[in-house]
Homo-oligomer: A and B are copies of this chain.
Amino acid sequence: MGEIKAKKQTRVNVTDSFWRKYMKIVRDEMIPFQWEALNDRVPDAPLSHAMKNFKIAAGEEQGEFYGMVFQDSDVAKWLEAVAYTLETDPNPELEKIADGVIDLLEKAQQEDGYLNTYFTIKEPEKRWASLRDNHELYCAGHFIEAAVAYYHATGKRKFLDIMCRFADYIDSVFGKEDGKLHGYPGHQEIELALVKLYQATGEERYLNLSRYFIDERGKEPNYFVVEREKNKAGVFEQFYPGHEKMKKYNQSHKPVREQTEAVGHAVRAVYMYAAMADLAYHTGDESLIKACYTLWKNVVQKQMYITAGIGSNVDGESFSFDYDLPNDLAYSETCASIGLVFWAKRMLELEADAQFADVMERALYNGTISGMDLDGKRFFYVNPLEVSPKKCERREKQHVKPVRQKWFGCACCPPNLARLIASIGRYIYSQKEDTVFVHLYIANENEVEINGNRTQFRLKANYPWDGDIEFSVDPETESQFTVALRLPGWCRNATLAVNDERIDLKTVNQKGYLYIHRKWKKGDRIYLRFAMPVERIKAHPNVKENAGKVALQRGPVVYCLEEQDNGANLHNIFIPRNAKLQAIHQPDLLNGVTVITGQAERIDESTWGHELYKAQEPKMVPTTFTAIPYYSWCNRQPGEMIVWVNETK
């Protein structure tokens, strides 16, 4: 059963000019750089010691453990990114390195299947002693994800077998049965990983173990509270002074099915929601499905930036309260938006509703890739929607960096971006029986088996800059099936044709997917044309910071103004409601972007005088402004940036 599922995993060949650039960066820059970093060969970088830890645990070297308690996960995320890369761009040399790492993992694995260098080298007696803080199950989850990816990419089972042994051991330790620990992870991750392991192997015990972790979470007495009474303060104590805050921080404040609002650490939350959607899909559990929808609605209707940034609060890197979305104080961690992509894709598997794909796309073109520069060498953890560099010196804004930083000591976001980008092809399609869903307009080629008949798909597009899509359907032999293409939520005017036959969208639109059911033959072409004007976006009136402000969006891309193009004091620019806005593609700017320009009014600083306050309107002067895609900000001179611009009648 597992084998069949594994084979169903199609290998999408991404030909997209937008994403290929990023994939190339991951392959040629990030993966080699991180390998050097993991081996402590990057000059002036903080010590990683991650590979060294494995060598010590494997008995190949002497020494002490060094690093965070979750240092191992850096190796796991690297392996996962490597796997996706190998799938699309075979590279025997890289594969050999990865195989070497996997050999090392095997040696570092304990007799009973346990694998974690910290608790092997440094505190073996503390194994499972603090599920709340110690990240052992989190690390295990990342290795499982990597192992599944590596198995799909290479067909080699060794890594998968290592992780099955570890998963089996975990299964022997945790569960509702007497004599087992009734705990669950402080940082969710293994839950979704176990579903992947189940899909890859067909072993239901992995699905059940994942379900156990999800079902047990938040029961009273709270496991972490009981556990904490036995322990001293842990490393994450600072994030939760008091048990109540801790419980919300890691979403153990109530059973998951009773959770209606997204709370706590945003990455933990969305990883968990993703696992919940996975389990709901595989088990058909109605109460879990309902919880997924309720939480989704809360996040996307009340707690998400226009960039798909989530977790607005630096305190605990967490969700805040409804509509609390300050632009300048945003936390909005890159990893949280990546997790939102994971969750959105799983919601799409539950139901082909374009709202899920809209959010996934919003995250992919905005709040995820804003986390890296165009060279893949510098990174943001925090993705603000308004920056004035000097204001970042204030204590309240210390988390907001005005420029991207080099690879970090605690390196969660960069490798998470690497694995997302390297696997971007996996987010384009879904298949349910004889329906193939197209969620994203990323140019690609793909071969799919439908009703035992192989069909070639090819998507041609110059997305996100252009809304013209050509989708080729070439079945080996004529065949009846359905192609369902997403009508993006941002699009208000679209046309659809199959070959030379125009189709009325209304007749085929169901929850934002255009269902084309017919007998397909070689050479069939679907033509989609999404009008892509510049849109003026307004925020919900409960978002205090955005009243009287407008954001610009074109297609899925959210724009911002930078000081580089518009001078300092961006807050003095007022875009009139009737301003004519023009989109201009600039192939040589920022790796090729479409910019938006328009006429606006601007407060004239020069004629105001020296008074700090006076009873006089400042002089307004006409100005031209230029907006660039948000994801591309801070790739030139550092300076001010705003997404939400003042508006005037």
List the interface of chain A (C-beta within 8 A of B): 300-302, 304, 306, 313-315, 320-321, 324, 326, 329, 388, 390-391, 393-397, 492, 535-545, 547-548, 551, 553, 569, 571-572, 574, 577, 603-605, 608, 610-618, 646, 648-649
Interchain CB contact (< 8 A) of A391 among B300, B314, B324: B324
Besides the contacts A306-B612, A313-B395, A543-B612, what 15 more A-B pairs have beta carbons closer than 8 Å?
A: A300-B612, A329-B396, A388-B544, A396-B397, A539-B613, A540-B608, A540-B611, A541-B569, A541-B603, A541-B618, A544-B569, A548-B574, A548-B648, A551-B613, A577-B617
In the complex, the chain B residue whose C-beta lies closest to that of A642 is B544
In the complex, the chain B residue whose C-beta lies closest to that of A321 is B390
- Measured CA separation A551–B614 after assembly (Å): 10
Give the distance to chain B from A230, nearest Cβ to Cβ, in Å. 29
- Chain B residues lying within 8 Å of A304, measured Cβ to Cβ, are 612
- Measured CA separation A607–B398 after assembly (Å): 38
Contact status A615-B535, CB under 8 Å: yes
- Measured CA separation A615–B618 after assembly (Å): 29
Write 16 A-B pairs (CB below 8 A) sorted by A numbering: A301-B610, A314-B396, A326-B391, A538-B617, A539-B613, A540-B611, A540-B613, A541-B569, A541-B572, A541-B603, A541-B608, A542-B605, A547-B571, A547-B572, A547-B603, A577-B617
Contact status B551-A571, CB under 8 Å: no
Contact status A612-B539, CB under 8 Å: yes
Give the distance to chain B from A386, nearest Cβ to Cβ, in Å. 9
- Chain B residues lying within 8 Å of A616, measured Cβ to Cβ, are 538
Contact status A646-B396, CB under 8 Å: no
- Chain B residues lying within 8 Å of A301, measured Cβ to Cβ, are 610-612
Give the distance to chain B from A39, nearest Cβ to Cβ, in Å. 34
- Measured CA separation A649–B397 after assembly (Å): 33
- Chain B residues lying within 8 Å of A390, measured Cβ to Cβ, are 321, 324
In the complex, the chain B residue whose C-beta lies closest to that of A312 is B394
Give the distance to chain B from A501, nearest Cβ to Cβ, in Å. 30
In the complex, the chain B residue whose C-beta lies closest to that of A397 is B396
Give the distance to chain B from A328, nearest Cβ to Cβ, in Å. 9
Contact status A315-B394, CB under 8 Å: yes
Give the distance to chain B from A218, nearest Cβ to Cβ, in Å. 23
- Chain B residues lying within 8 Å of A300, measured Cβ to Cβ, are 612
Interchain CB contact (< 8 A) of A605 among B538, B541, B608: B541
Give the distance to chain B from A128, nearest Cβ to Cβ, in Å. 32
In the complex, the chain B residue whose C-beta lies closest to that of A303 is B612
- Chain B residues lying within 8 Å of A388, measured Cβ to Cβ, are 544
Given A395-B315, A571-B544, A572-B547, A615 contacting B536 (CB threshold 8 A): yes
In the complex, the chain B residue whose C-beta lies closest to that of A610 is B301
- Chain B residues lying within 8 Å of A574, measured Cβ to Cβ, are 548
The interface centre, meaning the residue of A535, A541, A648 with most chain B CB atoms within 10 A of its CB, is A541
Interchain CB contact (< 8 A) of A614 among B302, B538, B547: B538
- Chain B residues lying within 8 Å of A320, measured Cβ to Cβ, are 394
- Chain B residues lying within 8 Å of A397, measured Cβ to Cβ, are 396
Contact status A394-B324, CB under 8 Å: yes
- Chain B residues lying within 8 Å of A329, measured Cβ to Cβ, are 394, 396
In the complex, the chain B residue whose C-beta lies closest to that of A304 is B612
- Chain B residues lying within 8 Å of A553, measured Cβ to Cβ, are 615
The interface centre, meaning the residue of A300, A537, A571, A616 with most chain B CB atoms within 10 A of its CB, is A571
- Chain B residues lying within 8 Å of A613, measured Cβ to Cβ, are 306, 537-540, 551
Given A544-B571, A548-B574, A618 contacting B538 (CB threshold 8 A): yes
- Chain B residues lying within 8 Å of A547, measured Cβ to Cβ, are 571-572, 603, 646
Contact status B548-A646, CB under 8 Å: yes
Give the distance to chain B from A372, nearest Cβ to Cβ, in Å. 24
- Chain B residues lying within 8 Å of A539, measured Cβ to Cβ, are 612-613
- Chain B residues lying within 8 Å of A306, measured Cβ to Cβ, are 612-613
- Measured CA separation A492–B571 after assembly (Å): 30
In the complex, the chain B residue whose C-beta lies closest to that of A540 is B612
